[in-house]
A and B are shown apart, each in its own frame.
Chain A
Amino acid sequence: MSVPSATPYEAKTRLGRITNFVDSRVSGSAMVKEFGRKVFPDHWSFMFGEVALYCFVILLMTGTFLTFFFDPSMAETHYQGSYVPLRGVEMSVAYESSLNISFDVRGGLFMRQVHHWSALLFVAAVSVHMLRVFFTGAFRKPRELNWVVGGVLLILSLAAGFTGYSLPDDLLSGNGLRIIDGVIKSVPVVGTYISFFLFGGEFPGTAIIGRLYMLHILLVPALILLMIAIHLFMVVIHKHTQFRGPGRTNNNVVGYPVGPVYAAKAGGFFFIVFGVIAIIAGFFTINPIWNYGPYDPSPVSAGTQPDWYIGWVDGALRLMPGYLGGFPLEWVIPFPWGDNTLSLNVLLPALGPAGLVFTLLFTWPWIEAWLTKDKRVHNLLDRPRNAPYRTAVGVAGVVFYCVMWAAASSDLIATHFHVSLNDVTYWLRVLFFVGPILAFIIARRIALALQRKDREIVLHGVESGRIVRLPHGEYIEVHEPLDEYKRYRLVDFESYKALPAQPDANGKVSGKEKRRAKLSRFFFEDRVAPVTPSELENAHHHESPAEVEAKADDSASIEQR
Chain B
Amino acid sequence: MGDHSHGSPNTSGTVATAGQGDEEKFQNPGLPPHRPRLADTNPRAEKRAERQVALLFVISIIGTIVFFIGYFSIHLDDASIAELRLQNILLGLGTAFAMLGIGVGIVHWAKTLMPDHEITEERHEIRPEEDRVIAEKMVGDIIEETGIKRRPLIRNTLLGAMVLAPLPAIAVFRDLGPLPGDTLRHTMWKKGTRLVRDPSGTPIKASDVTLGSAFHVIPNGLNDLPEHKLEEKAKAVVLLMRLNPEDLNPSPGRENWAVDGIVAYSKICTHVGCPVALYEQQTHHLLCPCHQSTFDVTQECKVIFGPAGHPLPQLPIEVDSEGYLVAQSDFLEPVGPSYWERG
Do A and B come together as binding partners?
Answer: yes
Contact residues on A (Cβ < 8 Å of other chain), bracket: 35 or more
**B231 near A282: Cβ-Cβ < 8 Å:** no
For residue A280, give the distance in angstroms from its CB to the closest CB of chain B.
Answer: 8
- Residues of A237-251 at the interface with B, using a CB-CB cut-off of 8 Å, are 237-239, 246-251
Set B6, B98, B109, B230: member contacting A250, Cβ < 8 A: B6
Please state if A299 and B277 are interface contacts (CB–CB under 8 Å).
Answer: yes
Contact B173–A110 (Cβ < 8 Å)? no
With a cutoff of 8 Å between Cβ atoms, the chain A residues found around residue B92 in the complex are 110, 113, 278-283
In the bound complex, residues from chain A placing their C-beta under 8 Å from that of B252 are none
The residue of chain B having its C-beta at the shortest distance from the C-beta of A346 within the complex is: B272
Cβ–Cβ contact A274 & B29, under 8 A: no
Q: How far is the CA of A271 from the CA of B253 in the complex (A)?
A: 70
CB < 8 Å neighbour of A268 from B103, B121, B233: B103
A197 touches B99 (CB 8 A): no
Contact in complex: A330, B310 (CB < 8 Å): yes
The reply to whether A376 and B8 contact each other, CB–CB distance below 8 Å, is yes
Q: Which residue of A lies closest to B60 (CB)?
A: A271
With beta carbons under 8 angstroms apart, the residue of A37, A82, A179, A188 that contacts B340 is A188
Scan B24-36; emit 1 where CB is below 8 A from any A CB, else 0: 1110111110000
CB A211 to nearest CB in B, in angstroms, measures 8
Distance in Å from the Cβ of B332 to the closest Cβ of chain A? 15
User: Assuming the A-B contacts A197-B177, A374-B17, are A279 and B118 also in contact, with contact meaning beta carbons closer than 8 angstroms in the complex?
Assistant: no
The answer to whether A404 has its CB under 8 Å from any CB of chain B is no
**Chain A, residue nearest B339 (CB):** A185
Query: Does A124 touch B at the CB level, under 8 Å?
Result: no
Chain B residues whose CB sits within 8 angstroms of the CB of A496 once the complex forms: 17-19
Report the nearest A residue to B124, measured CB to CB.
Answer: A239
Chain A residues near B338: list those with CB within 8 A: 185-186, 330, 341, 343, 346
**B23 and A491 contacting across the interface, CB-CB below 8 Å:** no
- A201→B93 contact, CB < 8 A: no
Instruction: Give every chain A residue within 8 A of B228 (Cβ-Cβ).
Output: 202
- Output the least CB separation between A325 and chain B (Å): 13
Question: Which residues of chain B are within 8 angstroms of A71 by Cβ–Cβ distance?
Answer: none
Are the CB atoms of B20 and A494 closer together than 8 Å? yes
Q: Mark A172-200, 1 if CB is under 8 A from B, else 0.
A: 00010011011101111111110111111
Docked CA distance A195–B216 (Å): 27
Contacts A39-B119, A201-B231, A532-B23 given: A345-B307 contact, CB under 8 Å? Answer: yes
Binds A, one of B83-91, B242-250, B255-263: B83-91
B123 touches A379 (CB 8 A): yes
**In this complex, which of A250, A281, A298, A346 has the most chain B Cβ atoms within 10 angstroms of its Cβ?**
A298
Contact A302 B278 (CB under 8 A): yes
- The yes or no answer to B342 lying at the interface (CB within 8 A) is yes
Report whether B126 and A237 are in contact in the complex, using a CB–CB cutoff of 8 Å.
Answer: yes
Contacts of A254 in B (CB 8 A): 31, 118-121
Answer yes or no: A352 CB below 8 A from chain B CBs: no
Cα A293 to Cα B287 with chains together (Å) = 22
| B183 beta carbon closer than 8 Å to chain A | yes
Q: Are the CB atoms of A318 and B307 closer together than 8 Å?
A: yes
Bits for B304-343, please: 1 = Cβ < 8 Å to A, else 0.
0111111000000000000000000000000011111111
CB atoms of B303 and A198 under 8 A apart:
no
* Distance between Cα atoms of A337 and B199 in the complex (Å): 42
Could you give, for residues 214-245 of chain B, a 1 whenever the CB lies within 8 Å of some chain A CB and a 0 otherwise? 00101000000000101101110100000000
Whether B307 pairs with A317 at a CB distance below 8 angstroms is yes
Q: How far is the CA of A524 from the CA of B88 in the complex (A)?
A: 56
What's the dominant secondary structure at chain B's contact region? Answer: loop
- B114 contacts A by Cβ under 8 Å: yes
A103 within 8 A of B: yes
Which chain B residue shows the least CB distance to A265?
A: B110
Which chain A residue has the least Cβ–Cβ distance from B294?
A422
B-contacting residues, A262-282, CB 8 Å? 264-265, 267-276, 278-282
Partner of B272, one of A183, A192, A268, A487: A183
> A481 to nearest B CB, angstroms?
14
For the complex, give the distance between the alpha carbons of A407 and B218 in Å: 32
B residues in contact with A317, CB < 8 Å: 271-272, 291, 307
B65 to A: closest C-beta gap in Å: 15
B93 to chain A, nearest CB (A): 6
Taking the complex as formed, is A20 at the interface, i.e. its CB lies under 8 A from any CB of chain B? Answer: no
For residue A10, CB closer than 8 A to chain B, the reply is no
B309 touches A260 (CB 8 A): no
Residue ID in chain A nearest B14 by CB atoms: A373
Q: Assess A269 versus B28: contact at CB under 8 Å? Given A297-B237, A346-B307.
A: no
Task: Report how far A444 CA is from B88 CA in the complex, Å.
Answer: 48
Q: Complex: how many Å from CA A114 to CA B89?
A: 12
Q: CB of A441 within 8 A of chain B? A: no
Docked-complex contact A297 and B290, CB < 8 angstroms? no
| Proximity string of chain B (105-131) to chain A, C-beta cutoff 8 Å, 1 when within and 0 when not | 111011100111011111100100000
Closest to B12 in A: A375
Check B123–A340 contact: CB distance below 8 A: no
Query: How far, in angstroms, from A274 to B101 measured CA to CA in the complex?
Result: 11
A268 & B104 in contact (Cβ 8 Å cutoff):
yes
Quick check: A104 and B234 within 8 Å, CB to CB? no
Residues of A within 8 A of B309 (CB): 322-323, 328-330, 343, 345-346
In Å, the complex CA distance between A272 and B104 comes to 7
Minimum CB–CB distance from A74 to chain B (whole Å) comes to 9
Alpha-carbon distance A464/B92, docked complex (angstroms): 49
Looking at the complex, which one of A197, A267, A488 makes contact with B176 (CB distance below 8 Å)? A197
Q: Does A321 contact B (CB under 8 A)?
A: yes
Q: Decide yes or no whether A363 CB sits under 8 A from chain B.
A: no
A residues near B6, Cβ cutoff 8 Å? 249-251, 380
CB distance from B214 to the nearest CB of A (A): 13
Chain A minimum-CB-distance residue to B181:
A196
Within 8 Å CB of B231, what residues of A? Answer: 201-205
Closest 4 CB pairs of A and B: A282-B92, A182-B272, A330-B309, A271-B103
- A binding-site residues for B, Cβ under 8 Å: 37-39, 82, 103-107, 109-110, 113-114, 142, 175, 178-179, 181-183, 185-193, 195-205, 207, 237-239, 246-257, 260-261, 264-265, 267-276, 278-283, 295-304, 314, 317-323, 328-330, 332, 338-343, 345-346, 349, 372-377, 379-380, 410-411, 421-422, 425, 484-485, 487-488, 491-492, 494-497, 499, 524, 527, 529-534
A-B contact pairs, 26 of them (CB 8 A): A39-B121, A82-B76, A105-B76, A182-B273, A187-B340, A198-B177, A200-B176, A201-B231, A202-B184, A254-B118, A261-B116, A268-B105, A268-B106, A272-B107, A297-B234, A298-B198, A304-B289, A322-B303, A322-B307, A332-B343, A343-B338, A346-B338, A372-B18, A380-B6, A529-B23, A533-B24
